[in-house]
Structures are given as C-alpha cells and as structure tokens.
Structure 1
Amino acid sequence: MTTGSYEVRVARSEADREACFGVRHEVFVVEQRVPKDLEYDTYDEVAVHVLAVGDDGTAHGTGRLLHGEAATAKVDGDLTIGSLGRLAVTRGARGLGVGAALVRGIEDVARELGLAAVDLHAQTHALRFYERLGYVAYGEEFPDAGIAHRAMRRVL
C-alpha cells in the first residue's frame, strides 16, 4: 500500500472474514509468534470484524469488536462497554493511518450498537498510539501471549 488510499468497512462476507484472519495470521502468528491456538478463539464467531482494504483489494488491517455477552467488560457503572481487540496492520501499511482509521471504524460500530465506551488491552509498545486516539490506561501491566499489555478505555 503506497497511495494511502483504503476503505475501512465491516467484514460482511466470508471472503472479508478470511482477509481479516489472514492479516491477523501475518501480524500476530508470524511476526509476533503468538501461538495460533491463542490467536483465534470462539469470540471470532460473534465479533464484529472490521477490515481495511486498499484500492487494489488487498487487506491491510483488521480489528474486532465484542459486545453484549461476549464483551470482557460489559457494564461499569452506567457505561455499556464494548471490547476492541485483535487490531492488526500489515507491515507495509504501518504509519499510513490505517490503524487509526480501523479504531475509529470500530468506535463507529460501537456507537451504532448503543455502547458508551470501548475497552481494549494494548500491547505496551502501542500505548502512545491509543493515547493519541483518546484512550486512557488503567490497572497494572499484565502478560497476554507472553507480551506485556495494559487495559485502556475511551468513553465515546
């Protein structure tokens, strides 16, 4: 992806979902060496998957939103919360705004679902990225798949 031109959309077809899983495999399983059995879970069946596709049809990024019973943090006080996860951008598309566009697309879906906030578990190297998008870290650092993470939230 060199033009910076891409579309962010909800993955509605089986081909879109496979493209999402392909990006996740490339980023998490291959690059970060997350075991395949940890990367894919039963939540993939109920999540809303979002996909970033370039003008040429190539998938450049993905993320998912869990809500309702599937969300890890459903309600906190008066907030109904969704969980953003599995955000991944291919190496060639990094630094082009794809990740930020995916986060905003997932937040749009969250608003459409009536959610008041979005939580996520950020790899610690990505904290500044999420902070620039309005997320605030809370709680202690914790390991997930052998990678340090922090919980973060953004009220919509």
Structure 2
Amino acid sequence: MNSIHVRVADWQKDNAELRRIREAVFIAEQSVPPELEWDADDADAVHFLAYEGDFPIGTARLLPDGHIGRVSVLKDWRGLKVGDALMQATILEAEKRGLKQQMLSAQVHATPFYERLGFKIVSDEFLEAGIPHVDMVRVS
C-alpha cells in the first residue's frame, strides 16, 4: 500500500472527486437522499481529500464555524487509518484558523472513532437522513 496523504482541496477544481467519494459513501451505501447530501455549505467550506498515491479515497469538510462534516472513506480503504489522517488534517486546519472548538454530528456507530480523537458526546441520539447520530464537541 502506498502512503496515505491528505491535502486541502478546491471545491471547484476537485469537485468531481469530492462528489464521487461522497456519492459512493453517503448516497449509494447509506441511502442518504442527494438533496440532503449537497447543500449551500459546500461553497464556504474548506474541503480535504485523502489519497493513496494519486488516487482520492476519502474526504471531509470544515465549515467556518468549526463544524466538521462529510467525513467519508471509500469502503476498500476503511480500517487503514485514512479517517484518522483526514480528521487530523481537519483539526489542524481548524486550529490554524483559530477555531478552538470543533463540532460534528457523528453516526452513532462511529462515536468511538471520534472519542479517540478527543471528541465528547454532547447530545441525545437523533435521526439525520434516517441514520442515528449524536452531536460531539472537541475543545483544543
């Protein structure tokens, strides 16, 4: 396996790759309706792409208020620390921007992953796109 690396992506230039990954994970695998997946926040977000070699395999986004979202890794690359690399890059960028608090809505099954990164559950369980979620917060 090539090494995994993450870079800040450009929503316009990297749109096809960002969409390909999110459509595969959220729309095809998890049955999230397209109208819920794509929103106006994408234009203002800082986007990230994770690569194995030259091939994009994961994505995440950071909103100006410190919300992290759309963390997604293609199925064949799960369990290989791609999510860790994406989250570390996203948290670092948030801190560089002075965002001392990062927030996210996590799918309940993924809460142990986010807890390892310092996030704490701050809400009761709720449904988003028919999937159980909780809100989580991390303070730098």
Shorter-chain-normalised TM-score: which range? over 0.9
Match of 1:152 in 2: 136
Match of 1:140 in 2: 124
Runs of 4+ in 1 over 2 A off after TM superposition: 12-18
Native 8 Å contact 2:11 2:42 kept in 1: no
Q: Tell me the distance in 2 between the aligned counterparts of 1:13 and 1:147.
A: 26
Q: Tell me the distance in 1 between the aligned counterparts of 2:92 and 2:101.
A: 11
One-letter identity of the residue aligned with 2:95 = R
Match of 1:20 in 2: 18
Q: Tell me the distance in 2 between the aligned counterparts of 1:120 and 1:13.
A: 20
Alignment of 1:76-87 (within 5 A): 82-87=66-71
Aligned residues: 140
Q: Tell me the distance in 2 between the aligned counterparts of 1:114 and 1:61.
A: 25
Normalised to the residue count of structure 2, the TM-score between the two structures is: 0.95
Structure 1, unaligned runs of 5 or more: 72-81
Native 8 Å contact 1:17 1:49 kept in 2: no
Report the RMSD for the aligned CA atoms in angstroms.
1.2
One-letter identity of the residue aligned with 2:76 = G
Normalised to the residue count of structure 1, the TM-score between the two structures is: 0.86
Alignment of 1:23-34 (within 5 A): 23-34=21-32
Pair 1:65 & 2:62 matched: yes
